[in-house]
């Protein structure tokens, strides 16, 4: 790991959020008007600029301690609807203002990877997928999340009394024979957060006759109703 990645790996939650926010903001500032209205395959209801509005809304609500009342879709949809006419520069400025309150709050909390951080990392790659600009897949926050997800999944598998399996990165040679789930850290993260279809998930299992119980334990959201290719 290079020095900059090592430093990022040691960040506290508010700093992790700040790094991710700046990464997304810098990416969004490079987009054309046509890019901003591209459909987001991972979030079928939204365009790229809608997804940015959602990120801003999440930051603002958390910064001002506004709870998500009612259905999740209504809450997230409100982020977009209330900012439907805002230019992208205004959205990013609002995000900066909210982050000035939110990031110290995250640092003062007890969670290593709060939901707002995971949401931000997830949607960064949703945007990248929509505009066909893959990148930042070795982000230390994503790698940490993938490790924690893998450990948590293993615990759930054990608790459910299912046969254990290995999580194997095919880039490392595939590992020893035996029940396995083949995925890089990036793929592990995307699978867990509902960014792969049931068919895509099933293709990653080796030596498991019926992966359905494993998939149910892995996916926090999803699976996606459609294949998502990134």
Q: What is the pLDDT of residues 148-167, one digit of tens each?
A: 999 999 999 999 999 999 99
Average pLDDT over residues 75-102: 96
What CATH number is given for 11-131 in this structure? Answer: 1.20.120
User: pLDDT tens, 173-185?
Assistant: 655 668 999 999 9
- Spans of all domains in the chain: 11-131, 140-218
Q: Which region holds residue 228: left if phi is over 0, alpha if psi is between -120 and 50, else beta?
A: beta
DSSP 132: T
* Spatial separation of the C-alpha atoms in residues 84 and 18, rounded to whole Å: 24
CB environment 91-103: b (16+ within 10 A), e (fewer): bbebbeebbeebb
Q: Which region holds residue 166: left if phi is over 0, alpha if psi is between -120 and 50, else beta?
A: beta
Q: Give, in order, the Cα–Cα distances in Å from 167 to each of 153, 172, 180, 182, 223.
A: 10, 11, 6, 6, 18
User: pLDDT tens, 23-42?
Assistant: 999 999 999 999 999 999 99
Does the pLDDT at position 143 exceed 80?
yes
Specify the range with the lowest mean pLDDT, choosing from 59-73, 164-178, 187-201. 164-178
Q: Which residues pair with 168 in a beta bridge?
A: 182
Specify the range with the lowest mean pLDDT, choosing from 8-17, 75-84, 98-107, 183-192. 8-17
In this predicted model, which residue has the larger pLDDT, 120 or 9?
Answer: 120
User: pLDDT tens, 203-218?
Assistant: 999 999 999 999 999 9
């Amino acid at each position: 790991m290079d020095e900059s990645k090592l430093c990022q790996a040691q960040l506290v939650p508010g700093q992790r959020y700040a790094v991710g926010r700046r990464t997304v903001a810098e990416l969004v500032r490079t987009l054309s008007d046509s890019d901003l209205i591209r459909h987001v395959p991972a979030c079928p209801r939204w365009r790229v600029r809608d997804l940015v509005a959602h990120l801003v809304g999440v930051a603002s609500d958390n910064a001002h301690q506004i709870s998500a009342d009612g259905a999740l879709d209504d809450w997230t949809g409100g982020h977009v609807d209330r900012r439907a006419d805002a230019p992208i520069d205004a959205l990013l400025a609002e995000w900066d203002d909210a982050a000035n309150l939110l990031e110290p709050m995250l640092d003062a909390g007890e969670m290593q990877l709060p939901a707002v951080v995971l949401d931000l990392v997830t949607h960064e790659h949703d945007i990248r997928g929509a505009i066909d600009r893959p990148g930042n897949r070795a982000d230390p926050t994503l790698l940490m999340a993938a490790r924690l997800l893998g450990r948590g999944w293993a615990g759930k598998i054990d608790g459910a009394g299912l046969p254990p399996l290995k999580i194997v990165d095919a880039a490392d040679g595939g590992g020893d024979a035996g029940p396995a789930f083949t995925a890089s850290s990036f793929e592990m993260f995307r699978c867990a957060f509902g960014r792969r279809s049931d068919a895509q998930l099933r293709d990653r299992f080796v030596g498991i006759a019926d992966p359905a119980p494993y998939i149910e334990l892995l996916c926090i959201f999803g699976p996606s109703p459609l294949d998502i290719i990134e």
